[in-house]
Amino acid sequence: MSGVAELNERIRDTLSGLVGVEITEVRQRRLVGRLRAEPRLFAANGYLHAATVVALADTLCGFGALEHLPPGAESFTTVELKANLLGTAREGIIECVAKLVHGGRTTQVWDAEVKHIDSNRTIALFRCTQLNLYPHE
């Protein structure tokens, strides 16, 4: 399993790095990460853009999928994702906890909860399905 520093290095020059995602914990079947709510990540209404929230959750679930590939799989691709947006924020730390719900040979299903740390309010519930990719024979 990769460490926090290694995964954060891989994020640096990606969309996840652009929005400021930082992975803070990597464990079996679970990853935790965060970003800071700031004006450059806001929508026109002055609140955190939904795409920022989805980027955070999708990043954690995606790295989780990579860390939990079954034997012989080389990578994965997302085949479905869904987010229930329950709130928003204008400041503070936004944290995401991603958990593996199903880890099969063909697919993985990940759930994530995104929270505003200062208020302890849930901002979003996220679920994605990943298709494990194997080399062509």
**23-33: per-residue pLDDT in tens?**
999 999 999 99
What domains appear along the chain, each with residue ranges and CATH number? 4-133 (3.10.129.10)
Residue 39: CB partners within 8 Å, gap ≥ 6? none
CA distance 45 to 39: 11
Element at 17 (helix H, strand E): helix 15-18
Whether the CB-CB separation of 92 and 117 falls below 8 Å is answered with: yes
Tens digits of per-residue pLDDT, 70-89? 999 999 999 999 999 999 99
pLDDT at res. 35? 98
pLDDT of 48 strictly over 80: yes
Tens digits of per-residue pLDDT, 81-137? 999 999 999 999 999 999 999 999 999 999 999 999 999 999 999 999 999 999 987
